């Protein structure tokens, strides 16, 4: 058995004491159909978990939080007849909310980001999921969706529309497939349209043109249309050399073809009554305004770029170009998932799990808005492992390794994240 680490034990005791103060002064936010939910908790000793708990009254939950002081608190996405039954079979499943989870695991370059940068990148992804899929495609009303900052490295969306309660895992996976574009035939969003017909000796000849998807269309056609628009914006920002470099990074695209496409898009064709370029026609869905080879190359690039699973390609950000959304598939498809309880504290940051409206998340910044008001400005002496630059509660800190006296709210954050140990409270 490993010898006790006094500094680690003191640090855990400090964080736990602050958590207790928080729970003693805070009324928990209860989930809908509170008495039908299973609750679960993780504690400060690794591996110690307690679940299969149910509470019939809010006071019981609050007493548990203040007496036991868990590091993490969860409740089930599912509703049960007997949420405190010891086995899943005995609980009597009644239905479940639909849960979406996004955190740093969905960022290819997370290891290169600071904590605030990572949180901002995830915030933008969760908004794309909320606005462009759950609201626009599935028609969920804002009143039946709740955005939640997880307190750690990401955000959740809880959909509690009664139409989703009875969905099984298979149906939930189909929702994930739509969002992540699994099996999407991008080519099919480009369609042929007849525009002229001539008859000769009893035969009819129909002329056809390729019509591209436009941004205002519903579903994936509109998304691809918006992606094309953003790709054109980026091409113009890059200039010819940058755009050609991006195009030729795709296998089989030669420089001459890429240069021809760029010229077809951005060369001015007319100035009266307005300036017209190929790109302006493309934005209107008129792909036939481009020469055949340029048109075919553009379609091919749009198809290829939508298959990329990273956030950038050849040094170019694909935000807005690649339109697919993301979610943690096992979480969304699970009909018995435990999810973090809003208003609880995250044991690895000391930040609150914050429920948010769609309007509120636009200006939400976790290191400013999720720091509990229970944490004070009182000085706490910590032993910092590494140099750190951080802004929290709108105050910037530039700290050197070793002993530092910092506000209690920063000490909790550093201690919970394992970035510092607590020597003593000043």
Domain positions in the chain: 27-178+327-371, 186-317
Render pLDDT for 202-222 as a digit per residue (tens, 0 to 9).
Answer: 666 656 677 888 888 999 999
Task: Choose the catalytic residue: 101, 334, 369, 377.
Answer: 101
Render pLDDT for 309-333 as a digit per residue (tens, 0 to 9).
Answer: 888 899 999 999 999 999 999 999 9
Least confident of 99-108, 348-357, 388-397: 99-108
Average per-residue pLDDT for the chain: 92
**pLDDT given at position 104:** 87
Q: Strand 379-384 relative to strand 402-407: parallel, antiparallel, unpaired? A: antiparallel
- Note the helical H segments in 36-139: 58-68, 88-91, 115-129
Render pLDDT for 92-124 as a digit per residue (tens, 0 to 9).
Answer: 999 999 999 999 888 888 888 899 999 999 999
**pLDDT given at position 310:** 84
**What is the rounded distance in angstroms from the CA atom of residue 216 to the CA atom of residue 383?**
56
- Structure-model confidence comparison of residues 270 and 93, the more confident one: 93
Render pLDDT for 1-25 as a digit per residue (tens, 0 to 9).
Answer: 556 788 999 999 999 999 999 999 9
Indicate the pLDDT class of residue 426, thresholds 50, 70 and 90: very low
**What is the rounded distance in angstroms from the CA atom of residue 78 to the CA atom of residue 325?**
24
Q: What is the average pLDDT across 32-47?
A: 95
101 in catalytic set: yes
52: left (phi over 0), alpha (psi -120 to 50) or beta: left
**pLDDT given at position 295:** 92
Q: Is a pLDDT exceeding 90 seen at residue 283?
A: no
Q: Which residue has the tokens 């690895």?
A: 348
177 in catalytic set: no
Q: Is a pLDDT exceeding 50 seen at residue 282?
A: yes
**What is the rounded distance in angstroms from the CA atom of residue 14 to the CA atom of residue 409?**
12
Residues 157/134, Cβ–Cβ less than 8 Å: yes
Tell me the CATH class for 27-178+327-371.
Answer: alpha beta
Above pLDDT 70, what percent of the chain?
95
Q: Could you tell me the two tokens for 387?
A: 């140099």
Global pTM reads 0.89
328 in catalytic set: yes
Q: Is a pLDDT exceeding 80 seen at residue 196?
A: no
**What is the rounded distance in angstroms from the CA atom of residue 321 to the CA atom of residue 206?**
34
**What is the rounded distance in angstroms from the CA atom of residue 352 to the CA atom of residue 369?**
9
Q: What is the average pLDDT across 172-179?
A: 97
Residues 171/371, Cβ–Cβ less than 8 Å: no
Q: Is a pLDDT exceeding 80 seen at residue 281?
A: yes
Task: Choose the catalytic residue: 103, 132, 185, 405.
Answer: 103
Residues 414/406, Cβ–Cβ less than 8 Å: yes
> Per-residue DSSP letters for 273-317?
SS-EEHHHHHHTT-GGGS-HHHHHHHHHHHHHHTT--SSEETTEE
Task: Choose the catalytic residue: 32, 161, 280, 328.
Answer: 328
């Amino acid at each position: 058995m490993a010898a006790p680490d006094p500094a680690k034990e003191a640090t855990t005791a400090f964080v736990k004491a602050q958590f207790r103060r928080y729970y003693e002064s805070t009324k928990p936010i209860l989930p809908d159909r509170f008495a039908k939910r299973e609750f679960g908790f993780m504690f400060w000793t690794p591996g110690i978990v307690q679940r299969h708990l149910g509470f019939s009254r809010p006071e019981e939950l609050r007493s548990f939080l203040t007496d036991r002081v868990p590091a993490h608190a969860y409740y089930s996405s599912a509703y049960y007849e007997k949420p405190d039954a010891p086995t899943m079979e005995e609980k009597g499943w009644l239905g479940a909310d639909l849960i979406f989870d996004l955190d740093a695991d969905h960022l290819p370059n997370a290891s290169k980001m600071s904590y605030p940068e990572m949180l901002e990148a995830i915030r933008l992804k969760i908004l794309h999921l909320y606005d462009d899929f759950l609201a626009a495609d599935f028609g969920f009303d804002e009143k039946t969706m709740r955005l939640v900052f997880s307190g750690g490295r990401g955000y959740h969306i809880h959909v509690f529309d009664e139409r989703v309660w009875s969905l099984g895992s298979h149906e939930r996976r189909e929702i994930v497939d739509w969002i992540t574009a699994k099996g999407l035939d991008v080519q099919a969003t480009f369609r042929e349209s007849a525009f002229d017909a001539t008859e000769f000796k009893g035969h009819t000849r129909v002329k056809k043109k390729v019509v591209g998807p436009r941004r205002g269309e519903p579903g994936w056609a509109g998304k691809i249309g918006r992606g094309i628009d953003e790709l054109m914006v980026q091409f113009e920002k890059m200039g010819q050399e940058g755009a050609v470099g991006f195009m030729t990074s795709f296998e089989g695209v030669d420089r001459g073809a890429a240069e021809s496409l760029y010229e077809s898009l951005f060369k001015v064709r007319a100035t009266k009554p307005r300036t017209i370029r190929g790109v302006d026609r493309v934005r209107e869905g008129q792909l036939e305004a481009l020469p055949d080879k340029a048109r075919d190359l553009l379609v091919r690039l749009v198809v290829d770029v939508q298959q990329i699973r990273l956030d950038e390609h050849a040094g170019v950000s694909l935000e807005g170009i690649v339109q697919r959304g993301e979610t943690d598939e096992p979480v969304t498809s699970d009909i018995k998932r435990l999810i973090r309880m809003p208003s609880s504290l995250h044991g690895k940051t000391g930040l609150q799990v914050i429920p948010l409206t769609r309007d509120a998340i636009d200006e939400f910044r976790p290191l400013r808005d999720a720091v509990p008001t229970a944490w004070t400005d009182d000085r706490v002496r910590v032993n910092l492992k590494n140099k750190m630059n951080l802004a929290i509660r709108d105050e910037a800190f530039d700290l050197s390794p070793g002993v530092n006296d910092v506000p209690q709210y920063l000490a909790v954050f550093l201690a919970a994240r394992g970035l510092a140990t607590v020597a003593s409270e000043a």
